[in-house]
Structure 1
Amino acid sequence: MIKVFSVRLGSTKVPFGQFYGGLDGWRGMQAVYRFATDKKHFIIVPIHAYLIDHPEEGLILVDAGINWQQTHEHGDYYRGIAHYLFDEDEYQLSREEELPAALARLGYRAEDVRKVVATHLHEDHIGGLSYLPNAELVISKDEWTNRHWKLFGFLPMVYQPSLEAARKITTIDYDAGAHQNFAASHDLTADGTVKVLPTPGHTPGHLCVLVQLDGYQLLITGDTLYTLRHLANDDVQAFGAGDWVPNQNASIRQIAELRRRIPELILAPGHDHSDYQFKHLAPGLAKGGLTPEERAAIRAYEETVFTAGGRLHPEAVPRYLPGTGADHVGRVSG
Structure 2
Amino acid sequence: METDSGDSTMIHHLIGGTLHAPPNPRAGCHCLVLQHGGKLALVDTGIGLRDVAEPEKRIGEETIRLEGFQFHEEETILRQLERQGFRADDVTDIVLTHADPDHTGGLADFPEARVHLSREEHVSLARGRVRYAPAHFDHGPSWQLHGPSRERWLGLEARSIALGNGVDVLLVPLFGHTLGHCGVAVREGERWLLHVGDAYYLRVELDRDDHPVGQLAALRADDDARRRASLAQLRRLARDHAGEVDCCGYHDLDELARWSSPWRTTTSV
Structure 1 and Structure 2 fold alike (TM over 0.5): yes
Which shifted more, 44-53 or 88-97? 88-97
Residue of structure 2 equivalent to 1:49:
31
SS in 1 for 2:12: strand
Q: Report whether the alignment pairs 1:187 with 2:148.
A: no
Alpha-carbon distance between aligned partners in 2 of 1:255 and 1:147, rounded to the nearest angstrom:
25
Residue of structure 2 equivalent to 1:162:
136
Alpha-carbon distance between aligned partners in 2 of 1:88 and 1:245, rounded to the nearest angstrom:
20
Alpha-carbon distance between aligned partners in 2 of 1:101 and 1:214, rounded to the nearest angstrom:
29
Q: Report whether the alignment pairs 1:288 with 2:268.
A: no
After superposition, the C-alpha distances for 1:80-135 in whole angstroms (9 at most, x for unaligned) are: xx433532993223232122221123443221111111101000100101110210
Residues 231, 103 of structure 1: CA spacing in aligned structure 2 closer, same or farther, 3 A cutoff?
same
Alpha-carbon distance between aligned partners in 2 of 1:68 and 1:84, rounded to the nearest angstrom:
20
Once the two structures are TM-superposed, the CA of residue 188 in structure 1 deviates from its matched residue by 1.3
SS in 1 for 2:218: coil
Which shifted more, 61-70 or 238-247? 238-247
Structure 1: runs of 5 or more not aligned: 16-40, 292-334
| 1:240 alignment partner, one of 196, 206, 219 | 219
Once the two structures are TM-superposed, the CA of residue 234 in structure 1 deviates from its matched residue by 1.8
Residue of structure 1 equivalent to 2:240:
261
Contact 1:114 1:134 in 2 (8 A): yes
Alpha-carbon distance between aligned partners in 2 of 1:156 and 1:68, rounded to the nearest angstrom:
22
Once the two structures are TM-superposed, the CA of residue 148 in structure 1 deviates from its matched residue by 4.2
SS in 2 for 1:43: coil
TM normalised by structure 1 equals: 0.69
Residue of structure 2 equivalent to 1:13:
20
| 1:64 alignment partner, one of 45, 55, 80 | 45
Alpha-carbon distance between aligned partners in 1 of 2:250 and 2:160, rounded to the nearest angstrom:
21
Contact 2:118 2:171 in 1 (8 A): no
Alpha-carbon distance between aligned partners in 2 of 1:170 and 1:136, rounded to the nearest angstrom:
7
Residues 218, 68 of structure 1: CA spacing in aligned structure 2 closer, same or farther, 3 A cutoff?
same
AA aligned opposite 2:175: P
SS in 1 for 2:111: coil
| 1:272 alignment partner, one of 221, 244, 252 | 252
Once the two structures are TM-superposed, the CA of residue 255 in structure 1 deviates from its matched residue by 1.4
AA aligned opposite 2:11: V
AA aligned opposite 1:96: E
Alpha-carbon distance between aligned partners in 2 of 1:72 and 1:44, rounded to the nearest angstrom:
22
AA aligned opposite 1:14: A
Alpha-carbon distance between aligned partners in 2 of 1:211 and 1:121, rounded to the nearest angstrom:
20
Residue of structure 2 equivalent to 1:91:
69
AA aligned opposite 1:245: D
AA aligned opposite 1:172: H
RMSD: 2.6
Residues 241, 195 of structure 1: CA spacing in aligned structure 2 closer, same or farther, 3 A cutoff?
closer
Alpha-carbon distance between aligned partners in 1 of 2:140 and 2:96, rounded to the nearest angstrom:
11
Once the two structures are TM-superposed, the CA of residue 142 in structure 1 deviates from its matched residue by 0.5
SS in 2 for 1:211: strand
After superposition, the C-alpha distances for 1:19-41 in whole angstroms (9 at most, x for unaligned) are: xxxxxxxxxxxxxxxxxxxxxx2
Alignment map for 1:214-233 (pairs within 5 Å): 214-233=189-208
SS in 1 for 2:153: coil
SS in 2 for 1:234: coil
Q: Report whether the alignment pairs 1:138 with 2:116.
A: yes
Alpha-carbon distance between aligned partners in 2 of 1:73 and 1:89, rounded to the nearest angstrom:
17
Contact 2:13 2:33 in 1 (8 A): yes
Residue of structure 2 equivalent to 1:100:
78
User: What percentage of aligned pairs have identical amino acids?
Assistant: 23
Once the two structures are TM-superposed, the CA of residue 290 in structure 1 deviates from its matched residue by 7.6
Once the two structures are TM-superposed, the CA of residue 277 in structure 1 deviates from its matched residue by 2.0
Number of residue pairs the alignment of both structures matches = 254
Alpha-carbon distance between aligned partners in 2 of 1:74 and 1:86, rounded to the nearest angstrom:
8
Alpha-carbon distance between aligned partners in 2 of 1:119 and 1:46, rounded to the nearest angstrom:
15
Residues 208, 106 of structure 1: CA spacing in aligned structure 2 closer, same or farther, 3 A cutoff?
farther
Alpha-carbon distance between aligned partners in 1 of 2:256 and 2:107, rounded to the nearest angstrom:
24
